[in-house]
Amino acid sequence: MTETTTPDLVTPTWDYAPAPEARDIVRLSSSYGLFIDGAFVDTLDGGALKTVNPATEEVLAEVAEAGAKDIDRAVAAARRAFTEVWGPMPGRERAKYLYRIARLIQERAREFAVLESLDNGKPIRESRDVDVPLAAAHFFHHAGWADKLAHAGYGPDPRPLGVAAQVIPWNFPLLMAAWKIAPALATGNTVVLKPAETTPLSALLLAEVVQQAELPPGVVNIVTGAGETGAALVGHPDVDKVAFTGSTEVGKAIQRQIAGTRKKLTLELGGKAANVVFDDAPIDQAVEGIVNGIFFNQGHVCCAGSRLLVQESVETEVLERLKARLATLRLGDPLDKNTDIGAINSAQQLAKITELAASGEQEGAQRWSPESCVLPERGYWFAPTVFTGVAQSHRIAREEIFGPVLSVLSFRTPQEALDKANNTPFGLSAGVWTEKGSRILWMAQRLRAGVVWANTFNRFDPTSPFGGYKESGFGREGGRQGLAAYLDLEVDA
């Protein structure tokens, strides 16, 4: 052949056209009430909040901010439902309600996914492929427990606690609601749940599903609101159980708030997980694991692998590959099916991330973001960022950033990796990458973390108990062990 440059021998540019998920499957109301005792009602003594699409700053809807009287009637509804209906109901009947809810979530999956991406800012691919399917799975799994509690290892007739007050965060709004509601109901409790201030909509859609499932009124109550509503709910005297997922700071405040009462408490708090990469790791998959560990869900994950602990002998290679890989990440419209990185959930969170990232530079670490990352003008966005030359004492190595910021530290030996990984008040999760089986198990045994991902990261399942050591909280969600949070297991003799 003698052709010089034929058209097919020129390096092209291939831009993916926008591939937006259709928004019209979601029917947004302009305002929403509280879901109490099986119906949507106006607030008695509260106010209103606006919830915003963080990718565009467009107001999506107004939701109620529950006041003290609203909390009273929500708890009263839950109490009555517990005493008269749900408590006496046989487990096999409770099970069938939960199966219905699971099925309805699956049937309305697309609607939930779009709504979640609109309200939270996460990419549709994640809400569609991770959040919504896992939420349905949680209801499915726990439905099957409702009539098998006698075989769960908690005695022949484990009793529920009564009314559970549940406060959940904004990072996985629907999934966190499922993690709370499913086990509570399966074990015979009734709930009053407060979704996060910035992400109330999928919980309100779940309330519609609860109605469609004909769940008896008062079994599930959804009270929207902000910090004050949460505190009022947690502090209500007729609540038997408090379950909280959120920041360590607020978790401690709650633990103090209920001191001296007999309310049961489980907490799922923050983390600063170490993702440990050894020199014999399967490097390409480790890079994927690092990327997934800190950039999945924009880093808004309590168990995010926010500290990369890489063995010094492969640090350069791993960082090169990591940076090359980050340059292929697509940041933008959360409703675009090709988006990898969505919006930061709120202006407030963006400010926090920005401040901590700035501290990283001030303390002497080197900051890098891929040049290809162009931030849209409107909305709350933060480019994936990597800090190298980080020391254990830097704020970005100690404090939870809850954003797409990775701090890279190095180690020389397994013991050093372990010591650095454990050297934190947190203990939620950890990652280990190595081809050597014995080393995986050695590390897994010694890491002080509630979840250890070996040669993988950010895997969740309703059968897999999730929760932390130390200041990452106590109690587990998921699996047989997760049922304990909602059963009366007072320690007597």
Partner 1 sequence: MTVVVPSAVDFAAVSDLADAGESDAALRRFLHGLPGVDQVGADARAATLATRSIKKQAKLQAIDMAIAMTDLTTLEGMDTPGKVRTLCAKARRPDPADPSVPPVAAVCVYGDLVPAAAEALRGSPVRIAAVATAFPSGRASLRVKLEDTREAVAAGATEIDMVIDRGAFLAGRYGQVFDEIRAVKDACGPAHLKVILETGELATYDNVRRASWLALAAGADFIKTSTGKVAPSATLPVALVMLEAVRDVAELTGQYRGVKVAGGVRTTKDAIRYLVLAHEVAGAEWLRADRFRIGASSLLNDLLMQRAKQATGRYWGPDYVTIE
Partner 2 sequence: MSERLQVRRTAKLFVGGAFPRSESGRSYEVTAADGGFLANAALASRKDARDAVVAARKAFPGWSGATAYNRGQILYRVAELLEGRAAQFIDEVAAAEGVDLDHATAQVDAAIDRWVWYAGWSDKIAMVAGSANPVAGPYFNFSVPEPTGVVAVLAPQGSSLLGMVSVVAPAIVSGNTAVVVACEARPLPAVSLGEVLATSDVPAGVVNVLTGRTAELAPILAGHMDVNAIDLCGAPAEQVPELERLAAENVKRVVRPPREGEPDWTAEPSPRRMLALTETKTVWHPQGV
Give the shortest CB-376-to-partner 1 separation in angstroms.
19
338 binds partner 1 (CB under 8 A): yes
| 116 is an active site residue | no
User: Three-class SS of residue 33?
Assistant: coil
Q: Which is nearer to partner 1, 98 or 454 (CB)?
A: 454
Give the shortest CB-61-to-partner 2 separation in angstroms.
34
Q: Phi and psi at residue 243, in whole multiples of 5°?
A: -125, 125
Given partner 2, partner 1, none, residue 16, with its beta carbon under 5 to 8 Å by kind, binds partner 1
Characterise 174 by phi-psi region: left (phi > 0), alpha (psi -120 to 50), beta (else): alpha
Given partner 1, partner 2, none, residue 269, with its beta carbon under 5 to 8 Å by kind, binds partner 2
> Among residue numbers 425 through 444, which ones bind partner 2 (CB under 8 A)?
425, 440, 444
C-alpha–C-alpha distance, residues 322 and 384, integer Å: 11
Cα angle: 380, vertex 383, 384; to 5 degrees: 130
Given partner 2, partner 1, none, residue 313, with its beta carbon under 5 to 8 Å by kind, binds none
Other CB atoms within a 10 A radius of the CB of residue 391 amount to: 12
User: What x/- string results for residues 81 through 110 when contact with partner 1 is judged by CB under 8 A?
Assistant: ------------------------------
C-alpha–C-alpha distance, residues 306 and 31, integer Å: 37
C-alpha–C-alpha distance, residues 152 and 158, integer Å: 9
Closest CA to 349 of 168, 198, 193, 125: 198
125 binds partner 1 (CB under 8 A): yes
489 binds partner 2 (CB under 8 A): yes
Q: Which is nearer to partner 2, 150 or 358 (CB)?
A: 150
102 binds partner 2 (CB under 8 A): no
Q: How many helices (H) and strands (E) would you count in the chain? A: 16, 18
Q: Site for partner 1 (CB under 8 A): which residue of 106, 211, 455, 481?
A: 455
C-alpha–C-alpha distance, residues 192 and 74, integer Å: 7
Closest CA to 200 of 382, 426, 366, 34: 34
Give the shortest CB-177-to-partner 2 separation in angstroms.
20
C-alpha–C-alpha distance, residues 195 and 230, integer Å: 9
Distance from the first to the final alpha carbon of the chain: 89
| 303 is an active site residue | no
Given partner 2, partner 1, none, residue 281, with its beta carbon under 5 to 8 Å by kind, binds partner 1
Of the listed 302, 303, 315, 373, which one is catalytic? 302
> Among residue numbers 357 through 376, which ones bind partner 2 (CB under 8 A)?
none
Three-state SS for 171-227 is: CCHHHHHHHHHHHHHHCCCEEEEECCCCCCHHHHHHHHHHHHCCCCCCCEEECCCCH
435 binds partner 1 (CB under 8 A): yes
> Among residue numbers 297 through 326, which ones bind partner 1 (CB under 8 A)?
none
Q: Site for partner 2 (CB under 8 A): which residue of 176, 383, 449, 485?
A: 449
Q: Site for partner 2 (CB under 8 A): which residue of 44, 109, 258, 347?
A: 258
Q: Which is nearer to partner 1, 453 or 469 (CB)?
A: 453
Q: Which residues bind partner 1 (CB under 8 A)?
A: 1, 3, 6-19, 125, 129, 280-285, 288-289, 328, 337-338, 435, 455-456
**Residues with catalytic function:** 268, 302
